[in-house]
Amino acid sequence: MNCRVNIAGGSIFDPLNPNLDMIDPSGILHHLVMLSRWGGNVRFPFNVLQHSLIVAEAIKDPSERIYGLIHDWPEALLGADIISPTKLLLHHDGADVNAHERLFMNLIYRKLSLPAPSTEIARRVHEADMRARATELRDVVANPTGIVCPAPPFNRPIKYENWALTLERGHQMLDAYLWAHSEAA
């Protein structure tokens, strides 16, 4: 079975036989800026990279922000920001998308020479992710059914950002956050 994913920049990712050489940070950033959040159920173009930047910026310790930036990188390797109802459907049919995401995330940590985050760092990333989600529900998502998130939204509203600017910012922040992490180590 051939289920290879072509990554922007020319690399190929094989989710059935993944290895470190297949992880291309620049290609992943490109894919994330092209992936819509919320399965496309948004009032204006809003992508996974913009979401990840919001999550990273919400983490107080600069040395931990890299974990916020990369928390959704497996979605680029899966080819989609798989919405929760679809993940539940796939799980019902026997697929464990979360296990694949964990495997891909471990490769990403290795590629970036990062240790897996501690439980405390993972908790802070999750909290920032949930606050970003709540803010997206308020500002971005076409939400006629009133989906709610128990986390409080950020005060700062989310606005449309040109994808090319988001991608440029993503590259800059990847370098800055990796540097901050290495300086703190």
Q: Residue 134 is encoded by which pair of tokens?
A: 């709540």
pLDDT in tens, 34-49: 999 998 999 999 999 9
Expressed in angstroms, the distance from the first to the final Cα of the chain is 42
- The answer to whether position 18 is within a domain reads no
The one-letter amino acid at 122: A
CATH number reported for the structural domain that contains residue 167 in this entry: 1.10.3210.10
Question: Which tops the pLDDT comparison, 40 or 180?
Answer: 180
User: Percentage helix, strand, coil, to 5, in the chain?
Assistant: 60, 5, 35
- The answer to whether position 15 is within a domain reads no
Which pTM was predicted? 0.93
Distance of CA 129 to the CA centre of its chain: 9
- The answer to whether position 171 is within a domain reads yes
- The conformation of residue 94, written as its DSSP 8-state character, comes to T
pLDDT band at 1 (very low <50, low <70, confident <90, very high): low
- The answer to whether position 99 is within a domain reads yes
* Number of domains, the chain: 1
- The answer to whether position 66 is within a domain reads yes
- The answer to whether position 134 is within a domain reads yes
Q: Are 15 and 2 in contact (CB under 8 A)?
A: no
Give the structural domain span for 159: 23-184
Length of the chain: 185
d(CA 135, CA 157): 7
Residue 17 has pLDDT above 80, yes or no: yes
Per-residue burial over 141-158, b = 16 or more CB atoms within 10 Å of its CB, e = otherwise: beeeeeeeeebebbeeeb
